[in-house]
Structure 1
């Protein structure tokens, strides 16, 4: 019996030792598996984070790409509008250049007409009289006649000698119905002693102008609508009034011959129509 008990005890002891080894091995295996699982979990989480980052980057790239597409469309629209604006600007420049060219043509024609008027006046009036000047200033023709040819001192009655000169001027003016003539009276700076009719140099200069206008219209056939009467008194002198000779130069009547403004614009318009 004692031997049986001993034998059973040894058997139980052996059985117990084998189970502990297996348990230890299983425990080690379990730990290894757990470590692998933990490593895999870490890698999985890293992959998930990387995936999330890549997904966010993809979304960002999509948004950026859409922005570029929208910008490209806007740029295309802007480029198209810019091209249209440039084309309009070029057309506007061309139109302005054409208008300038037409205006220059009209001015050239006006200058030609002005030159013809000067030639006609110089031919009609003559060039040998020092008391008559015919010149062009800024495209305007003017005839300056010394007062000693037109009036007696302090008078506004036109002399017979003056009428002979004015008749030559009237002939040229009558040949140019599209022109106007402004008759300007000028005095020196010596104060005019007024009377019941004239008060000062202003009155004298205007009265001399209207006297010449009446001779041109009433006696020489110039149309009244072509004439303008003006008085400048002593305020536009040719030279200073420091001597009798200079004062004599300043006492004058100036007849300004110029195209009517509406006729000038008609001339420009005709030139423009020719270019169309």
Structure 2
């Protein structure tokens, strides 16, 4: 081929190669810029989500405070209305202002009395719960739950600890825990005790047990008999009852929920004056196993 024709072709190919190099550099630069922008976008989305969560929390707090403020305003308006009415009546000679002040002061004292009583009740509940659980070991506390609500003691025992599987017979491993529960009952001998059986919703299939209600009552009866025969609790104080599957404390659609519902509750119901004296009559401290 003549040299004159080869030269233009060479120049053209060189230009294409140079143009391709420049385009690749721009592409790489744009790709890097795109990645940086994507990272910044992700950070922005995260910050936006956090900001929205903070705004939601602040909105909830604002709504709560507005609700409280509304209640305070209503209480203030009632007091103001009462005061205005009293002043109006006083102007007619029907009410003595000093008597109104005395009534307001008496109301304030009564409110303070209610607050003090509530605080004292909460403290007594806590002390009583500690007194009842301090003789139980850590392992026992996994299967025993003790609560005090409005002066009533609820001791909840799991069926895994108390009974043989699918049965109402007391398991040998329950003896030690039941002996401690019996001591609690004996220490407060003037109180009535209800033993209440509860089950989950799984049907029972035993020839001598009709249904879960039957099973729960039989289990409660087994605990009552063990307390009487093995630990000397006065049977006149005890009542056995079954609630079957109809008193759940958890969701029966999950295994953990069913396990919580399969329980026996020992409910101790003292009189009010006895409850107020529980601290003085608390059982002596026993060493934890």
User: TM class by shorter-chain length?
Assistant: 0.5 to 0.7
- For residues 120-154 of structure 1, what are the alpha-carbon distances to aligned partners after superposition, in whole Å with 9 as ceiling and x for unaligned? 22211122332223345566543322112111123
- Deviation of 1:168 (Å): 0.6
- Deviation of 1:210 (Å): 2.4
Question: d(CA) in 2 for partners of 1:231 and 1:241?
Answer: 18
Shift in CA distance, 108/228, structure 1 to aligned 2, threshold 3 Å: farther
Match in the other structure for 1:155: 167
- Deviation of 1:233 (Å): 1.1
Match in the other structure for 2:177: 165
**Residue pair 2:193, 2:239 contacting (<8 A) in 1 also:** yes
In the TM superposition, 1:224-263 aligns within 5 A as 224=235, 226-244=237-255, 246-261=257-272, 263=274
Match in the other structure for 1:83: 96
My pick for the range that moved more, 185-194 or 109-118, is: 109-118
Match in the other structure for 1:114: 125
Shift in CA distance, 109/193, structure 1 to aligned 2, threshold 3 Å: same
Instruction: Name the SS for the 1:163 alignment partner.
Output: helix
User: Which one has the largest radius of gyration?
Assistant: 1
- Deviation of 1:187 (Å): 0.7
Question: d(CA) in 2 for partners of 1:212 and 1:120?
Answer: 22
Unaligned runs of 5+ in 2: 1-87, 278-289
Instruction: Name the SS for the 2:135 alignment partner.
Output: helix
Shift in CA distance, 204/100, structure 1 to aligned 2, threshold 3 Å: farther
Q: How many residues align?
A: 189
Instruction: Name the SS for the 2:95 alignment partner.
Output: helix
Residue of structure 1 aligned with 2:156, choices 144, 147, 157: 144
Question: d(CA) in 2 for partners of 1:262 and 1:218?
Answer: 30
Question: d(CA) in 1 for partners of 2:104 and 2:233?
Answer: 45
Unaligned runs of 5+ in 1: 1-74, 268-276
- Deviation of 1:81 (Å): 2.4
**Residue pair 1:144, 1:255 contacting (<8 A) in 2 also:** yes
Match in the other structure for 2:219: 208
Question: d(CA) in 2 for partners of 1:97 and 1:220?
Answer: 51
- Deviation of 1:165 (Å): 0.7
Instruction: Name the SS for the 2:232 alignment partner.
Output: coil
Shift in CA distance, 245/82, structure 1 to aligned 2, threshold 3 Å: closer
Question: d(CA) in 2 for partners of 1:218 and 1:106?
Answer: 40
**Residue pair 2:89, 2:95 contacting (<8 A) in 1 also:** no
